Amino acid sequence: MIKLIACDLDGTALDSSKKLDSGLKKLYPKLKEQGMELTFVSGRNEELLERYIDELDISLPYVTNNGGNIYQEHVCRFNDYIPGEYNDVLTRMLEKQGIPFRLFADEGAYGFKSTAFFKERMGLFKNVGLKSYRKELELKDLHIYKVTCDFTGQEEKIEGFLEEVKKNCPHMNFLKAETNVYCANSLTANKGDALEKVCEMIGITMDEVMAFGDNGNDLPMLEKAKISVAMDNSPEEVKALCDHVCKDNDHHGVSAFLKDYFKL
């Protein structure tokens, strides 16, 4: 029996204008009546996720930063940091190749160059002040939970950079989150392991989870969930690994699938 619906946000529960699937608000009480709960498993930071948690009044733990953190009622319950020995290595690699990035740590956020993607996302922050990254900075003592990189306009560098990450930072995840956007996290900080922790916290197993996602960083949870659902806007390799494919995120794919599957 499915007891938890776990949803990615961008490209999944959010449409292209970043509005929440409107059907979920109506459907959530019906899911609860059937003994099911809903939570989000996202690559977003808490500040970029909290309004969606409040919109549905979700009280369960939820995953931020691709598994780097788990929050509940806007309080951090779990952290998984990138190994400290990689702090300087990764940022030097990015700076050398001129790849824009945003680094997020307990001690603050740092930015190198700007892009349309970062302007849109960082414009939503209320409390995180962005400091300028300089190669003279000492980063080894920071507690970093995510580095987001935007390869837009430099797509030809992606393949080579992935190989460089594997060689120099083997104990780190570097996964595609959105088109041309990749996120670095601890090797153990992924949506699958984090969702398992959420299940432990609420007393269920992954055999009682249905998960929705659309991209490579969703695969760890899609592979571990009892039932996996890919969005129609997902890459073909994601669709191929899932049990079902639903409508795209601009056509209420998540809520339409849930309504039909559970006959709500």
Task: Tally the domains of the chain.
Answer: 2
For residues 125 and 73, state if they share a domain: no
For residues 28 and 112, state if they share a domain: no
For residues 127 and 245, state if they share a domain: no
User: Facing residues of 172 across strands?
Assistant: 186
pLDDT < 70: residue spans in the chain? 122-128
The pLDDT of residue 122 is: 65
Given 186, 212, 245, which residue is the final one in a domain? 186
Domain span at residue 119?
84-186
Find, among 173, 165, 175, 180, the residue nearest to 144 by Cα. Answer: 173
Given 186, 215, 238, which residue is the final one in a domain? 186
The pLDDT of residue 27 is: 96
The pLDDT of residue 40 is: 98
The pLDDT of residue 118 is: 87
For residues 95 and 70, state if they share a domain: no
For residues 42 and 93, state if they share a domain: no
CATH number of the domain bearing residue 161: 3.30.1240.10
- Pair 111, 118: CB distance under 8 Å: yes
- Pair 245, 261: CB distance under 8 Å: no
pLDDT tens per residue across span 168-201: 999 998 988 888 999 999 988 999 999 999 999 9
C-alpha 25/C-alpha 193 separation (Å) is 27
The pLDDT of residue 155 is: 95
For residues 107 and 178, state if they share a domain: yes
| Tally of CB atoms within 10 A around 141 | 9
For residues 41 and 22, state if they share a domain: yes
For residues 15 and 50, state if they share a domain: yes
For residues 75 and 194, state if they share a domain: yes
User: Facing residues of 75 across strands?
Assistant: 72
For residues 203 and 135, state if they share a domain: no
Given 186, 221, 241, which residue is the final one in a domain? 186
What would the two tokens of residue 92 be?
A: 């030097």
For residues 164 and 194, state if they share a domain: no
| Distances in whole angstroms, Cα of residue 172 to Cα of each of 41, 57, 73, 87 | 19, 33, 28, 11
The pLDDT of residue 89 is: 92
For residues 206 and 226, state if they share a domain: yes
